[in-house]
Structure 1
Amino acid sequence: MKRVRRPRKADKKRVAEAEVWDDEVEEPQEEADAEPDETGWKTSTAHLAGIARLVRVGVWALIASGPALGVMALLGSSGAVHAAPKPIAAPSPGSQVGPAGFAQLFVTAFLEAGQGTERDLAPYYPGPVALAAKPGTRTATRSTVIASREVQAGYWSITVASDVTVQDDKGKPKRLGVQYFRVGIQAIGTTGAGGAATSAKAVTGYSATSLPAQVAAPAAITPGALAYQSERGSSSADPSVDTARGFLSAYLTGAAALDRYTSPGLNLQAISPAPYSAVQVTGVRDDAAQSVQQKVPADGAELHQLVQVQATDQAGSAVSLSYALTLKSRAGRWEVASVDDAPAISPSSAPSVAPQPTPSPDATTAKPSPSNS
């Protein structure tokens, strides 16, 4: 006996959908010679049914292709993001500390070297050197770097100021004053060492490219006017002067606690060990408008002072010092709010180049006075 296969639920569902589809598609046909509409096109039920079928197929095709279109759009946007150019990090400037220190050592050795000691310069400059001066004729009592410029990556122009002393033929020293020397320094290593290498394992080294060149001193300038226009003298009758005196005495000698004279929250320590045994205020200027400052204003008022003191060290020597202070009023008294980094400059003032002094005529070239006969 032949076994009959029972239809499954999925098969029944497909059959039902097919029947519905056929019911929707099989519309009664009209005659081919239907009347044309106002536009001149002939319309019929069969024609409309075909258009409906095409629209339905297009909708299903669009729905089916939705995931694919989404993936393509995602890939396209990802490609656009990866294709964007990455910003190039600007190279960090090299540090001048290493080349500057090397140049300072080179200039000091150069000033002290002479005929027969040229080899002392070999660690700084490997080129041929022939010196005519007597060794030790000139010495640099102190030197410091006053200017540096990176000419190109790893190549520096350094200017060194040296206080030079020279010895005459009898060995008597004579101070020539501060002289300025410029020298080119090449550096290898990382930017932190003044070089241009990117690897942290790069070897560090320096070399001068020539002997130093003596150059002119920087222009002398006249500083701008300070903001302290009112003179207070050193009278203790002024409460602000009395506060400055007590504070600086405690700060320089350790004779009292600083918090007696400072605003709450000021984190400041006295110099330790104390370098001075006594402090005397010799002059005070401030930016207050009143010619006489006898009363403490309301809380929160500020006063900027420039205080001149004469401090006596442990050996009994007097040392002149200047301090820029900012005072604030609180509870009827002045308190030191800060020890300023530098005296305040008047906003309307600017530095200017100082005029060069006129050289005095050389006595050896002056014409002798006519003698009386």
Structure 2
Amino acid sequence: MKRLRRRKEEGEVWTEEPVSAADQSEPVAEAEGEDRIGWQTTTAGLSGMTKLARVAAWVLVASGPLTGVAALLGSSSPAQGAPKKTSVARQASGTGPAGFATLYVEAFLEAGEGTEKALAPYYAGSLALTIPPGTRSVTRSAVIGARETAPGYWSVTVAATVSVKDKKGTAGPASVQYYRVGVQALGPENAGGTSSSSDAPVGYTATSLPAQVAAPEALKPGALGYGTSRGSSTSDPATDTAGGFLNAYLAGNGDLSRYTSPGVHLQPVAPALYTAVKVTHVDDDSTSAGDQKVPGDGAKRHLLVTISATDKDGRAFPLSYALELRSRAGRWEVAALADAPVLKPGSQPSTAPATPAPDSDGDSTPTPAAASASPSPSSS
């Protein structure tokens, strides 16, 4: 049992005190005694527990607003240990739609009257052709652009080398033509579709006939990062190393590891298609063409090497290679066969008028931008 005490001091505060065993044995008739000691008019009579209870009560009253603010802030901010949700950008692949569009364009160009059903796997619309089958023939084709215009819907541009026969059946000169196709894809994202399931069925369909479009604009490449021309003299140690490396790499003349840095492992072209390689020009990023001294170990130099590779029939073919050389023990060694020539920092391509490039027979071959995009024979 517990005995209740109270004090009237600017109001009433009820407190509880534990009752000893002796107090528990007091008769109930002593309630009058409780009335005698229950009301106190001075603080001297307060017990330790009573003081503690009063202090605790005032602390609770004073801290009430602060506790409410802390609770409000705590409810509005995420827990420190709670994981944050991150959105993953959708990455759909255009490989499937691009391949489908290529097959569709090839079939469309070579189809004719009576063979319209050959387009059924690609296009479900009605089509009636009036030209003889085989009027147009495709010797090669390639995708030059694939863009997703909406989830699962692709715009694919295909370049095709097309030859057209005249009324007598004689094939005319081939020209590069460009066609754009709208393709809807069904399936997972890695097939160009929208499904998140890797087991979703895959399929493609064209939304219309191909549209013949203009060739993309030709570009002039930006400046390369080779400021020094060294010509073709093999007296320069760097040029000599490059020539020996490419002879071993393309023609199998010599041990490839003889020209590479330690730890560099490159496989030669096999089978060797050429019998000899000759350096025709070298550009590098050195400070001076006259400086032929090999620097101390660890120095680097980047070369753009143009060669003439001769096959077993004596025909010569020009090729270019970007090499990274590193000095060691007083000589240059090939540290890397670069993926592409080095660009000058900040270099950007620019638009340029297309000019015909002369071929080996003195004729001119149009660049892709200048290639004829002749209209296809009419179809209805």
Normalising to structure 1: TM-score of the pair? 0.75
Q: 2:329 is aligned with what amino acid?
A: A
- Residue among 111, 114, 121 paired with 1:113: 111
1:293 aligned onto 2:291: yes
Render the CA deviation track for 1:124-164: whole Å, top value 9, x for unaligned: 00100122222111111100111011111111111101011
- Residue among 177, 182, 185 paired with 2:183: 185
Render the CA deviation track for 1:13-51: whole Å, top value 9, x for unaligned: xx99646999xxx9xx99x9x9xxxxxxx62533x23xx
Distance 1:20 1:266 in 2: 97
Segments of 5+ residues of structure 2 without an aligned counterpart are: 1-17, 26-32, 58-70, 357-380
1:21/1:182 Cα in 2 relative to 1: closer, same or farther (>3 Å)? Answer: farther
Q: Match of 2:318?
A: 320
Distance 1:192 1:140 in 2: 29
C-alpha displacement of 1:242: 0.7
C-alpha displacement of 1:189: 0.8
C-alpha displacement of 1:85: 9.4
Q: Match of 1:68?
A: none
1:346 aligned onto 2:338: no
Distance 1:350 1:199 in 2: 41
Q: 1:133 is aligned with what amino acid?
A: I
1:128/1:231 Cα in 2 relative to 1: closer, same or farther (>3 Å)? Answer: same
Instruction: Report matched runs for 1:1-373 at 5 Å.
Output: 18=21, 43=42, 45-46=44-45, 48-49=46-47, 52-55=48-51, 87=85, 89-90=87-88, 92-355=90-353
Q: 1:54 is aligned with what amino acid?
A: T
1:297/1:53 Cα in 2 relative to 1: closer, same or farther (>3 Å)? Answer: closer
Q: 1:175 is aligned with what amino acid?
A: P
Q: Match of 1:362?
A: none
Structure 2 counterpart SS, 1:192: helix
Structure 2 counterpart SS, 1:181: strand
Structure 2 counterpart SS, 1:131: coil
Q: How many pairs align? A: 312
Q: What's the RMSD between the two structures over aligned residues? A: 3.3
Distance 2:24 2:337 in 1: 94
Q: 1:337 is aligned with what amino acid?
A: A
C-alpha displacement of 1:357: 6.7
Structure 2 counterpart SS, 1:143: strand
C-alpha displacement of 1:350: 2.3
C-alpha displacement of 1:291: 2.6
Q: After alignment, is 221-230 or 88-97 more displaced?
A: 88-97
Distance 1:226 1:199 in 2: 45
Distance 2:43 2:309 in 1: 117
C-alpha displacement of 1:57: 6.0
C-alpha displacement of 1:339: 0.8
Structure 2 counterpart SS, 1:146: strand
Q: Match of 1:37?
A: none
Rg larger in structure: 1
Distance 2:246 2:24 in 1: 103
Q: Match of 2:15?
A: none
1:43/1:357 Cα in 2 relative to 1: closer, same or farther (>3 Å)? Answer: same
C-alpha displacement of 1:207: 0.5
Instruction: Percent identity, please.
Output: 54
Segments of 5+ residues of structure 1 without an aligned counterpart are: 1-14, 35-41, 62-72, 359-373
Distance 1:56 1:347 in 2: 77
Structure 2 counterpart SS, 1:175: coil
Distance 1:53 1:340 in 2: 86
Structure 1 counterpart SS, 2:245: helix
Q: Match of 1:6?
A: none
Identify which of structures 1 and 2 has the higher relative contact order when contacts are C-alpha pairs closer than 8 Å and 6+ apart: 2
Q: 1:279 is aligned with what amino acid?
A: V
C-alpha displacement of 1:95: 1.0
1:301/1:86 Cα in 2 relative to 1: closer, same or farther (>3 Å)? Answer: closer
C-alpha displacement of 1:347: 1.8
Normalising to structure 2: TM-score of the pair? 0.74
Distance 1:85 1:332 in 2: 57
C-alpha displacement of 1:123: 0.8
